[in-house]
Amino acid sequence: MSTDLTQPFDAAEFRNHAHRAVDLLAEHLERVNRREGPVLPPWTPEQSLQRWPADFGAAPAGDPSAFLAQVIESSNHLHHPRYIGHQCTSPLPMSAMLDFAGAFLNNGSAVYEMGPHSTAMERAVAQWFAGRIGYDAAHSDGFFTHGGSAGNLTALLAARQSGTPYDVWEEGVKDASNLCVMSPDTTHYSVRRSAQVIGLGGRSVIPIATDEKFRMRVGELAKALKNAKSEGKSILAVVASAGSTATGAIDPLDAVADLCAEYGVWFHVDGAHSGAMVVSDKLRPRLKGIERADSTIIDAHKMMLMPALATLVIFKEGRRSFETFSQQANYLFAGADPTETWFDMAQRTLECTKRSLGLQVYGSLKAHGTDYFAAYIERMFEMGEAFGKMVTARPHWELATEPEGNIVCFRYAPPAILDANAFNAKVREAIIKEGSYYIVKTVLRGKTYLRVTIINPRTEMKDLEELLARVEAEAIKG
Ligand SMILES: Cc1ncc(COP(=O)(O)O)c(C=O)c1O
């Protein structure tokens, strides 16, 4: 029996399936908007494996809507207003739709001719963000990578190239023990991992102590720079967070920029979480100094409501971005001056083919307008800060630190509870199991805290108030 290879490309069938898929997702959105259903599915990894065996039939399974309904049921419901766990956003339906269209059209970009619209949109979005950061439009340039980890790696590769007096790309790292990178002790693990990947070794990352608000201590950074210099080390980069993963702390960027200028060191801002503050005129001043960074990353899949993954990597001097990968792939890239072939994005990215990452960001900015995104981040930050006040106003609640945005770490520690670390960990397990919220936990300076990221525009203060009441009820249960 011959298989009809064209049948899956039948336009009428695609239309039917896709309409049904959109209906199922819209019904799901209606349900979670009403706060129905568990926030997370209850299945363990083993149970999930049993639900999804590799029992593929040889013949077509037909209408996929039953399958998709099961997938929706088995998913973490990020659109549920009580999903306040990791920094994974509830994507704008519009951005998810654009992502779907992008996947369908599959104009991934490595070189311009593979993805004309995505290349142009990527550039337009990067330049718009560069302007918001405060970079000089005539010099700055950037692109998207698949995620913040790849973004940090890309920026650190450029810093490594800039900070070594030989062609490190061709010759390899000669004396790793002589090279270092400095970052706060709260930095995301991708910074250390990047240093490991680029041959510096994990030990090359010098952690800089943070203050009571988990922000890099500038005095400690100054000391570390001075010591490194006197030991004859090459300092490849200082990485500052805006904001840090655990608490959302924003390092003193301007003061860090001063030190980097004094020592002639590459300054990189990991703005994966809060870099999107540049979109808001109200919040932008809190990032003063970011415009002096040699490179900045911003995860659009965090505070820009985009589906994962879409990270902007932006360089103050766009030309430097071409130094990241200085090898020549002659069959792909034409021309001697790489800035003339800016449109062949893979010259500057880890990835060869990329998804058309600019599409959902460009299309969403157009569809919803930039005021929407400014209002969104302002609202999320206001709610985080208001939640911090709500926590401290209730007896026996503690904050790890007053929140600087929409990430809040807090714990319940009434005197009757002897082991507050164990209690807070236990109550989180109970809450997740019952499906009423998704929250995470973190250990900071020896204490276990509950941690929320308020990232869904439908989350309300009453959701947060009821969370505190839920934890208190657990303490009464004992
Ligand atoms: C500060 C910071 N940097 C980098 C990353 C890594 O980003 P991604 O998960 O997109 O690779 C994260 C992730 O949470 C982060 O919080």
- CATH number reported for the structural domain that contains residue 421 in this entry: 3.90.1150.170
Q: Residue 158 belongs to a domain with what CATH number?
A: 3.40.640.10
Evaluate whether residue 473 is within a structural domain: yes
Alpha helices in 336-460 (DSSP H): 357-368, 370-393, 420-434
Domain span at 450: 371-477
Separation between Cα atoms, residue 47 and residue 475, nearest integer Å: 30
Please tell me whether residues 183 and 194 are part of one structural domain. Answer: yes
Is it the case that residue 328 has pLDDT exceeding 60?
A: no
320 lines ligand 1 (CB under 6 A): no
Of the residues 345, 368, 391, the one at which a domain ends: 368
Instruction: Classify residue 246 by burial, with Cβ atoms within 10 Å: 0-12, 13-18, 19+.
Output: buried
Please tell me whether residues 376 and 392 are part of one structural domain. Answer: yes
Ligand 1 centroid–CA 88 distance in Å is 10
Please tell me whether residues 354 and 429 are part of one structural domain. Answer: no
Please tell me whether residues 356 and 376 are part of one structural domain. Answer: no
Separation between Cα atoms, residue 228 and residue 217, nearest integer Å: 17
pLDDT mean over 220-234: 97
Please tell me whether residues 334 and 390 are part of one structural domain. Answer: no
Is it the case that residue 329 has pLDDT exceeding 70?
A: no
Structural domains counted in the chain:
2
Please tell me whether residues 277 and 392 are part of one structural domain. Answer: no
Of the residues 368, 392, 411, the one at which a domain ends: 368
Ligand 1 centroid–CA 188 distance in Å is 7
Mutate to test the pocket of ligand 1, among 146, 152, 188 (most ligand atoms within 8 A of CB): 188
Please tell me whether residues 325 and 404 are part of one structural domain. Answer: no
Mutate to test the pocket of ligand 1, among 273, 297, 404, 453 (most ligand atoms within 8 A of CB): 273
151 lines ligand 1 (CB under 6 A): no
Q: Which of 302, 344, 278, 271 is nearest to 120 (CA)?
A: 344
Please tell me whether residues 405 and 431 are part of one structural domain. Answer: yes
Of the residues 368, 400, 425, the one at which a domain ends: 368
Q: How confident is the model at residue 323 (pLDDT cuts 50, 70, 90)?
A: confident
Give the global pTM: 0.96
Show the tokens assigned to 276: 């999107």
| The pLDDT of residue 302 | 98
Ligand 1 centroid–CA 4 distance in Å is 44
Please tell me whether residues 157 and 289 are part of one structural domain. Answer: yes
Please tell me whether residues 362 and 454 are part of one structural domain. Answer: no
Please tell me whether residues 393 and 285 are part of one structural domain. Answer: no
Report the nearest atom of ligand 1 relative to the CA of 299. Answer: 10
Please tell me whether residues 142 and 290 are part of one structural domain. Answer: yes
pLDDT mean over 155-163: 94
Is it the case that residue 418 has pLDDT exceeding 50?
A: yes
Which residue(s) pair with 142 in the sheet? Answer: 314
Report the nearest atom of ligand 1 relative to the CA of 311. Answer: 10
77 lines ligand 1 (CB under 6 A): no
- Residue that wins the pLDDT comparison between 323 and 11: 11
Residue with tokens 């250390």, as numbered in its chain = 192
